[in-house]
């Protein structure tokens, strides 16, 4: 990993937020998504605070590795 690369670990609450936004935009419900890959993109800025460094991200994109969501089949 180079200095320009930033690895971002998504917490469950962030995943839930992104999935709820996905539902609002596409109608795909979180319970219907079997797997999804989260990719952070946009302006990633390193911030410093008295508790240590953290990153802010202005864009979060969600996609499946094949470019689509893998939905649960009934």
CA–CA separation, 20 vs 57, rounded Å? 18
| pLDDT in the model for residue 1 | 46
Q: Break the chain into its structural domains and give their ranges.
A: 12-66
Residue whose C-alpha is closest to residue 19's, from 1, 32, 2, 9: 32
- The answer to whether 53 and 47 have CB atoms below 8 angstroms apart is yes
pLDDT in tens, the chain (74 residues): 455 555 555 566 777 777 787 788 788 787 877 766 666 556 777 888 888 887 776 666 665 544 455 556 65
Using left for φ > 0, alpha for ψ between -120 and 50, and beta otherwise, residue 6 falls in beta
């Amino acid at each position: 990993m180079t200095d320009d690369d930033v690895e971002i670990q998504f917490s469950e609450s962030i995943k839930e937020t992104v999935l709820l936004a996905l539902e609002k935009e596409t109608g795909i419900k979180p319970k219907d998504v079997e797997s999804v890959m989260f990719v952070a993109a946009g302006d990633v800025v390193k911030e410093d605070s008295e508790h240590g460094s953290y990153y802010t991200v202005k864009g979060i994109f969600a996609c499946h590795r094949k470019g689509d969501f893998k939905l649960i089949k009934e």
